Chains A and B, each alone.
Chain A
């Protein structure tokens, strides 16, 4: 019995470990390739480790194209992403509290509207949005990428509402009797209690914006305004790329913020997904 158990444990780890390794292998391969001599990247695919470790791919890649370096693209991406995350989380928390705990006319209607926005494909809105932003002179600025996010996201609002549902209603009533208004109640009592759901929202908001390709593709025209995703797409264009080492180097760098954030926050993510998934 004991031996059978050990055998099953060993085969479990072997299988799961091997499968995981196969899955992650392309990423590992890309990282090692970025340290190879550029001309060897595509000719020594079968050899994982570089015969000579070089960092010049990173230096060459960082210089970007058209006189704009990746420093600019990274700064742009961080500006867009951070402003998005802040607006997204604050507006979502406010809306979640409003929908959960304030009784006002029209609440039901707007709530239904919010839920419906989750089902409408973005393709339906993309053309008119472009026309609107174009007429406002916002094309080739960060505004079309940031401002719409300041209304929050239905997905986050819904998730935070699940959290607020766990806070006893009596708290609101007690606070009101003590003369504490809804606004103070929200900022001093409710906000600290829903921090976990705000963190999960912030993390996902960061990922989605950092990776967002469509928005940058549509609205950013001049290289000085490019975010990392659109810059990388052009930098790695199959018809233009010749320096494969630099290409993979910049791919790796572009993933770093996401990987670092993931490693530090994976607890929040794993629990956040499991919870919002089950409760929805």
Chain B
């Protein structure tokens, strides 16, 4: 519709009514957005330049929180390192595993829906406290893993969660264990690749490895891209598992960023400092998200490009 040249009173009242109706529909969302997102967002930014412990009035300290983070806080660097280690190991492994299982499950069989449910179950339960507790006893000194290794003839009596070198791996493994969502997304992506592509390639003598790298993988890159972005944001924010399974230990080897931020804010009540940490986290996530988006033109392949 082109722009109206003149508005009759009837049209004007209709337009006003439309505005009213629009705000009625988005009203609940808008109120909650303003009260619980926008206002806290602004306050958080302001608090990151303040010293605040909820008991006394906030005191403006300029950039002191940020300066302290980058120059005077060893644990900040430790927690950042732990989080990077977690994100850059656990996410590629989760996605690779999800893709591998999706490739295997991508065939006609009456059992596939059953397997799909089986493999998705950990993702549904993985965020719960119960599974974290369970995990603790799977990787303890006399836990399920060591018992299973013993049955296979491998003697192992370290406690995986209290050994400083292996503790982070118990968290990484829990993260990989919940590969269900990316697997389902990969699976439905695989279903959309036309069969004829594979048939044509097969006629030309392409083996399964060539078919995977020349057809499957390029056509899946948009989905890999989507999964990567979604998983990355979640990976940087991992919290409750680290708190319940290892509580940051041993020797802070599993002190993920979000856990350290929680401690600063709600155990030591350094709330301004906690906000500064949160803003640094947001910058880091933003940076890596942007990096993935920027790099996408080099490796994400859209089918309609070749037309």
Contact = CB atoms under 8 A, between A and B. Distances in A.
Interface in A253-271: 254-255, 258-259, 262, 266, 269-270
Interface stretch (B3-11, B66-74, B231-239, B297-305): B231-239
Given A15-B104, A150-B28, A121 B278 contact: yes
Contacts of B275: 124, 127-128
Contacts of B134: 26-27, 30, 248, 251
Interface stretch (A49-57, A95-103, A194-202): A95-103
The A contact surface, by secondary structure, is helix
Interface string B129-140: 111011111100
Contacts of B147: 45-46
Interface residues of B, number: 92
Interface in B64-111: 101, 104-105, 107, 109, 111
A273 B181 contact: yes
Contacts of B233: 119, 121
Contact of B143 (A45, A105, A122): A45
Contacts of B138: 26, 29
Interface string A107-133: 100100110010111111111111110
A23 interface: yes
Contact of A120 (B118, B151, B188, B282): B282
Nearest to A13: B111
Interface pairs A-B: 5 shortest CB-CB: A151-B32, A98-B25, A104-B22, A274-B188, A128-B40
Interface of A: 9, 12-13, 15-17, 19-20, 23-27, 29-30, 42-43, 45-46, 87, 90-92, 94-95, 97-99, 102-105, 107, 110, 113-114, 117, 119-132, 134, 147-148, 150-152, 157, 181-183, 186, 207-208, 210-211, 213-214, 218, 228-230, 232-233, 236, 238, 244, 247-248, 250-252, 254-255, 258-259, 262, 266, 269-270, 273-275, 277-278, 280
Given A94-B26, A251-B129, 11 more contacts: A20-B115, A23-B119, A26-B144, A27-B131, A95-B25, A102-B21, A120-B41, A121-B237, A123-B237, A151-B33, A255-B128
